[in-house]
Structure 1
């Protein structure tokens, strides 16, 4: 079995996972191995660090005295997050030490990015000076929807409403591959002066195709969450080492950040049409 989320490949055992496990409730394991409680704790800590860093980042870039930090937070958070994310992905044992750093870097990026989106929407609707207010509204809505979708996907997995078998995984993996290929093509075209495709990523592009694209990406990200839950479930059942709880928290954070960004982007597009 191959994960659509690269960070979760550490959960893959040499043998093939039995599809009969799909959809089974998350189960507990021994005290020296990965457990539900430990995974929830690690995930909660990482989310807390990310949110705290995002709040601090937002407060800084929205202040006249520290507005210059917006670009460093955006670039530093993105590049730093990528570097630490790759290290953790290839060396899962480092997750318990590096995942908190990754969460903080993602928080810095999200705070600056969210503030930037708010200002972009305010400028688009002709409400200059209201960027903070608009941004705050969009952020709160995006956070609420992110956790609502996460809870819904967890319920669907645990209850067996969604059973991620081989076909399900193949479809989601193919969709992920398609998204990555589309982004690369769009980026290359933009480098040659053609912004037709890359424009669908703009938070202020409220066109029908752009909004539809965002909805599609959100659906795919939501389905990836189901696969995340399945791999974590398999990891617990396999009795993986205790440090994998932090790796699981890191992997979930990767998907949650992606989902939040896409929801925020969609809300911004819809707000830009008003």
Structure 2
């Protein structure tokens, strides 16, 4: 079992297929339980996102919106806090019933603030990104359940390699920007920039397929009950990534108009 999502890596269920799994609360991971917890995490992130959106914008006399003074606090604080909680959850899976909801709440601040910034520049972009994100989620889920997409080992290896490559490109880009070198051709609205964003969106979407397969494997292996929270957290990580990449892609496309 392999997933490009760092939260759902190969070793997560490594020992669960041995038949020696003992759950402290007598429960085991179920698909319905994971789905319900994913919905709960999405609701939590929506609540804090709505708050951050409101706090990140101010209404001008002409009816337009402008960034509020503390908008960056929610964006930066949410991003850093979400990263810390994601790392804690990844390395301490048994804490996921607590850290996963905290991650969703903190990540909501980031999502609400960054969404408000994009919306002020490109009206309607957030609604489009939300529709594309959840449309992609349900389309791939149906394709996976119907067997139209089969996560073979070669498929998984390709997605993992592509995900790692994208992470490396982003890391190098960040380091270069720290030294005053801007990689405009992948972040700009030119053909290369749009093409790069399309590739990233596709790879992020394919990670959903790996996540579905990984969670289903955990259910079949009789994983402990707390792994429902961990599986929901893993899906949240991918959905957040996919949503942000849709925002980036749509902003590049609208910048050309």
TM-score, normalising length from structure 1? 0.83
Distance in 1, matches of 2:202 and 2:230, equals 24
Distance 1:171 1:66, change over 3 A: closer
Q: Write out aligned runs for 1:108-257 (5 A).
A: 108-119=109-120, 121=121, 134=123, 137-197=124-184, 200-201=186-187, 205-257=188-240
Residue matched to 1:7? 7
Alpha-carbon RMSD across the aligned residues, in angstroms, is 2.0
Q: Write out aligned runs for 1:81-120 (5 A).
A: 81-119=82-120
Distance in 2, matches of 1:117 and 1:240, equals 40
Instruction: Show structure 1 runs of 5+ residues with no match.
Output: 18-30, 123-133
1:56 aligns with 2:44: no
- CA displacement, residues 16-69 of structure 1 (integer Å, 9 cap, x when unaligned): 89xxxxxxxxxxxxx811111111110000000111111111011113699222
Instruction: Show structure 2 runs of 5+ residues with no match.
Output: 19-25, 60-65
Distance in 2, matches of 1:190 and 1:51, equals 31
The answer to whether the Cα contact below 8 Å between 1:146 and 1:263 also exists between their aligned partners in 2 is yes
Most deviating of 31-40 and 138-147: 31-40
Distance in 2, matches of 1:83 and 1:187, equals 19
- CA displacement, residues 89-137 of structure 1 (integer Å, 9 cap, x when unaligned): 0011111111111101111001111112233x35xxxxxxxxxxx1xx1
TM-score, normalising length from structure 2? 0.89
1:39 to 34, 39, 43: 34
Residue matched to 2:63? none
Q: Say which SS state the counterpart of residue 63 (structure 1) adopts.
A: strand
Residue matched to 1:125? none
